[in-house]
Structure 1
Amino acid sequence: MGLLTSRKALIGLVLMVVGTLGIIPGALPGSAQTMTYALVPAAAALTLGTWLVGTSEGGRPV
């Protein structure tokens, strides 16, 4: 099964993109305090997306 044919992998890829885009504003120098609060859900989305992609195929996750 390919990476783009698995629903679990596609959801993981979307979460990884959303998490990465969510981290960028909070990581910039001089960002507002409210943007630093957005780092926690963005990091959680990135972590969950990475886990979904890693476990979407059969066998041992790398």
Structure 2
Amino acid sequence: MGLLSSRNAVIGIVLMVVGTLAMLPATLPNADQFMSYVLVVGAAAVVVGTWLVGTSESGRPV
């Protein structure tokens, strides 16, 4: 099976991309406190997305 044929893998990839894009504004020098909260949400999305991609195939998770 290919990586894009699994529903969990596709959701995981989308979560990783969205999480990465959510973290980018927090890296700006003039980021306010709200961006720190968005940074936490973005990091959580990347972690969940990575977990979904890692466990989408049968066998031992990476």
Give the shorter-chain TM-score range: over 0.9
- The CA deviation string for residues 11-34 of structure 1, in whole angstroms up to 9 with x for no partner, is 000000000000111122221111
Q: TM-score, normalised to structure 1's length?
A: 0.93
SS of the equivalent of 1:4 reads helix
User: Considering only aligned residues, what root-mean-square deviation do their CA atoms show, in Å?
Assistant: 0.8
Structure 1 partner of 2:56: 56
Distance, in Å, in 1 between the alignment partners of 2:58 and 2:23 is: 30
Distance, in Å, in 2 between the alignment partners of 1:3 and 1:45 is: 19
Question: Which contiguous aligned blocks of 4+ residues in structure 1 show a shift greater than 6 angstroms?
Answer: none
**Is the CA contact 1:27–1:36 (under 8 Å) kept in the aligned structure 2?**
no
Q: Which runs of 5+ in 1 are unaligned?
A: none
Q: Which runs of 5+ in 2 are unaligned?
A: none
| Structure that is richer in helix per residue | 2
What's the % identity of the aligned pairs? 66
